[in-house]
Amino acid sequence: MIAVGFIGLGVMGGPMAANLVRAGYDVVGYNRSRSKVDDLVAAGGKAASSVAEAVRGADVIVTMLPDSPDVRTVVLGENGVLANASDGALLVDCSTIRPDVSRDVADAASGNGIRALDAPVSGGEQGAIDGTLSIMVGGPADAFDAAKPVLDVLGGTVVHVGPSGAGQTVKAANQLIVAGTIELVAESLVFLKAHGVDTEAAIRVLAGGLAGNRILDRKAAAMTSREFTPGFRVELHHKDLGIVTSAAREAGVVIPLGAAVAELMAALNARGDGALDHGALLKLVELLSGRA
Q: What is the pLDDT of residues 103-158, one digit of tens each?
A: 999 999 999 999 999 999 999 899 999 999 999 999 999 999 999 999 999 999 99
Domain edge (last residue) among 138, 162, 186: 162
Q: What is the pLDDT of residue 231?
A: 85
The whole-number pLDDT of residue 292 equals: 86
Residue 1 has pLDDT above 80, yes or no: no
Domain match, 141 and 236 both: no
Report the DSSP beta bridge partners of residue 26.
3
Mean pLDDT of the chain: 97
pLDDT of residue 206: 98
Provide the pLDDT for residue 98: 95
Are residues 146 and 27 both part of a single domain?
A: yes
Number of structural domains found in the chain: 2
The domain that holds 90 is classified in CATH as 3.40.50.720
Range of the domain at 235: 169-288
pLDDT tens per residue across span 14-43: 999 999 999 999 999 999 999 999 999 999
Q: Looking at 103, 138, 162, which one is the last position of a domain?
A: 162
- Tens of pLDDT, residues 215-268: 999 999 999 999 999 989 999 999 999 999 999 999 999 999 999 999 999 999
Residue 130 shares a structural domain with residue 181: no
Catalytic residues: 171
